[in-house]
Amino acid sequence: MTEIVLAGALAGLGLFLLGLAWQRPQARGAGAPAALARMDLERRRMHEGTIAARDRRRRQPGEPGQAAESELVIRLEPAGRRIRRQLEFAGIPLPPSLRSDLSLIGRPVETHIAMSLLGMILGGVLALLLGTMVTTLLFRLPLTTPLIITIIGVVIGGLLPTAQMASRARVRRRDFRHAVGSFLDLVALNLSGGRGVPEALNAASSISDGWAMVRIRDCLEIARLQGITPWIALGQLGDEAGVAELRDLSAALELVADDGAKVRESLAARAASLRRRELADAEGRAQARSQSMLVAQLLLAIGFMIFLIYPAIVRVLVTS
């Protein structure tokens, strides 16, 4: 009965994926709304691809995320692009957290889907070999054991790239927050020198060539070309990268953009608050690492005590 259920589930999943792959995307509705929806999807894909390509070009060797993509991932990118297109036309959006993490590490959605597919394939193959070996060595196990182990391997292999990407994006988001704190201080200094808010933002973002400052500088340049205000562009960047500090900065600048004194006071207060938050986070991470070191030392001490006591215990047991 178990074999029949698993076989039916796999067959149904295969038919669903086959139909999803070969289904011709059809826009709901006709006329201007459908055309605008297609244009919006294409614009979003081009924007994300431009950000990823620019981040790859500017990333220095040895920086996190610089690992070269394998040839298999490059070959699977068309499949990832097709899956993404089908999901978009089916109305299945990607989670916002996934989009923000991909935007931070400079990886296109198609590449991430291709890496997930590659992980599923490799995880399934390795799990199938492991399940076959276990079933061969242990004859009492049912024949469905390799199939169950293969399914588990496929799931783990597909989720592993997402977990690695989330861990890397967490580190880069923390670095981004640190850069935003310095950016606020620089903007406040430029405002104290008599510059306006747009000029102060541009001058502050041109101080450093770090990837976070470059991202802010590109955002301000795009805002100038599109004819929107810099604080709106910073808010959009905060939404893309998942950095709440940029969204708060955008809201503050939008409220007090006409009053230079209030802007300086607000930015100085936000920079001080951000520094205190970063200091508290650093202290928390240091305490967590200290606790982990204490646990490791305790385990070493227990092992050493067992090593010392074991001969005496064995001697007592043998003599008794």
In sequence order, the 6+-apart residues with CB closer than 8 A to the CB of 181 are 245, 271, 274, 275, 278
Nearest to 123 by CA among 159, 88, 70: 159
User: Whose structure tokens read 């070969």?
Assistant: 22
The whole-number pLDDT of residue 56 equals 54
Q: How many domains does the chain have?
A: 1
Average pLDDT over residues 8-17: 72
Which region among 120-124, 179-183, 288-292 has the lowest average model confidence (pLDDT)?
288-292
User: Taking the model in full, what pTM does it have?
Assistant: 0.67
CB 188 within 8 A of CB 264: yes
CA distances, 167 to each of 22, 101, 307 (Å)? 34, 9, 38
240, 99 Cβ separation under 8 angstroms: yes
Q: Is 204 in contact with 276 (CB distance < 8 Å)?
A: no
Which pLDDT value is given to residue 156? 92
pLDDT the model gives residue 28:
46
- pLDDT averaged over the chain? 77
Instruction: Return the closest-CA partner of residue 243 out of 185, 186, 172, 161.
Output: 172
pLDDT tens, 266-277? 777 777 877 788
Q: Does any domain span residue 85?
A: no
Does some domain include residue 259?
A: yes
Alpha-carbon distance of 169 to 142, in angstroms, equals 42
pLDDT at 60: 45
In this predicted structure, what is the pLDDT of residue 66?
42
* pLDDT at residue 68, rounded to an integer: 43
Q: Which of the given ranges, 138-147, 223-232, 263-272, has the highest pLDDT on average?
A: 223-232
* Torsion angle of the four alpha carbons 233, 234, 239, 245, in this order, in degrees rounded to the nearest 10: -170
Cα–Cα distances in angstroms (integers) from residue 153 to residues 114, 148, 158, 205, in the given order: 17, 9, 8, 46
- 198/217 Cα distance (integer angstroms): 12
C-alpha torsion sign, points 223, 237, 171, 288: positive
pLDDT score recorded for residue 289: 80
Report helix, strand and coil shares of the chain as percent, to nearest 5.
80, 0, 20
Q: Which of 79-83, 165-169, 219-223, 259-263 has the lowest mean pLDDT?
A: 259-263
Residue 28 placed within a domain: no
Q: With respect to residue 64, please indicate whether it lies within any of the assigned structural domains.
A: no
146-164: average pLDDT: 88
Residue 282 lies in a domain: no
Among 20-24, 86-90, 92-96, 200-204, the minimum mean pLDDT is found in: 20-24
Domain presence at residue 57: no
Mean pLDDT of all residues in 288-302: 84
pLDDT digits (tens, 9 = 90+) for 38-59: 566 566 655 555 555 555 555 5
- 313-319 long-range contacts (CB < 8 A, ≥24 apart) are none
64, pLDDT greater than 70: no
Q: Confirm whether 22 is domain-assigned.
A: no
Radius of gyration of the chain (CA): 27
Residue 62, token pair as written in the block: 């040895």
DSSP assignment of 248-296 equals HHHHHHHHHTT-HHHHHHHHHHHHHHHHHHHHHHHHHHHHHHHHHHHHH
Domain ranges, residue 255: 176-277
Counted residue by residue, the chain has a size of 320
**DSSP 3-state of 12:** helix
Identify the sign of the CA torsion 230, 236, 239, 241.
Answer: negative
Predicted local confidence at residue 62, as pLDDT? 43
Q: What's the average model confidence in pLDDT over 212-222?
A: 87
Is position 206 within any domain?
Answer: yes
Share of the chain above pLDDT 70, in %: 77
Least confident of 62-66, 79-83, 131-135, 156-160: 62-66
CA distance 317 to 264: 78
Q: Is residue 105 a contact partner of residue 138, using CB atoms and an 8 Å limit?
A: no
Question: What pLDDT, on the 0 to 100 scale, is given for residue 63?
Answer: 45
Confidence of residue 98 (pLDDT cuts 50, 70, 90): confident
Q: CA 320 to CA 317: how far, in whole Å? A: 5
